[in-house]
């Protein structure tokens, strides 16, 4: 059975949930670094990366999990080099054990997103 997951302060302009749970699998729609309740991005890569991780953490919690359940995260950025240092720093905060980190991929996108430096999605597994 599929269940839509929504979190306070983050929604799409289209009829798409923030995340979805089907059995033990949780995945999300593209997650932007919007300051909760707005369509504005905080200034700087570190603030935006932390905001994305905050949204992901809320989705995981709403689905009954946490960061230990993440199998893979994908990040999308017009300029990946502009986010790598901040991303690696926040990544290690959330996944401190090098023997137990999820897969990660960063993709360069062609679009110019203005103030938005990245967005992300994830795949997680949480047993029922």
DSSP letter string over 8-77? TTB--SSS--SEEEETTEEEE--B--PPTTSS-PPSSHHHHHHHHHHHHHHHHHHTT--GGGEEEEEEEE
pTM: 0.95
Q: What is the pLDDT of residue 11?
A: 84
Q: What is the pLDDT of residue 97?
A: 98
Candidates 13, 86, 81; CA nearest to 47 is 86
Kindly report the CATH class assigned to 2-125: alpha beta
Q: What percentage of the chain carries pLDDT values higher than 90?
A: 91
pLDDT tens per residue, the chain (128 residues)? 899 999 998 888 899 999 999 999 999 999 999 999 999 999 999 999 999 999 999 999 999 999 999 999 999 999 999 999 999 999 999 999 999 999 999 999 998 899 999 999 999 999 97
In this structure, are residues 125 and 71 in contact, taking their beta carbons and an 8 Å threshold?
yes
Q: Tokens representing 16?
A: 């798409």
Q: Where are the domains of the chain?
A: 2-125
- String of DSSP letters for 84-117: HHHHHHHHHHH---TTS--EEEEEE-SS--TT--
């Amino acid at each position: 059975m599929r269940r839509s997951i929504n979190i306070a302060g983050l929604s799409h302009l289209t009829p798409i949930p923030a995340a979805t749970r089907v059995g033990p699998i949780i995945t999300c729609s593209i997650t932007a670094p919007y300051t909760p309740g707005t369509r504005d991005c905080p200034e700087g890569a570190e603030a935006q990366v932390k905001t994305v991780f905050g949204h992901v953490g809320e989705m995981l919690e709403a689905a009954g999990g946490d960061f230990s359940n993440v199998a893979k995260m994908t990040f999308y950025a017009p300029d990946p080099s502009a986010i790598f240092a901040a991303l690696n720093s926040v990544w290690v905060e959330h996944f401190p054990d090098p023997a137990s980190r999820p897969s990660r991929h960063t993709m360069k996108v062609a679009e110019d997103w203005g103030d938005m430096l990245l967005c992300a999605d994830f795949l997680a597994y949480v047993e029922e």
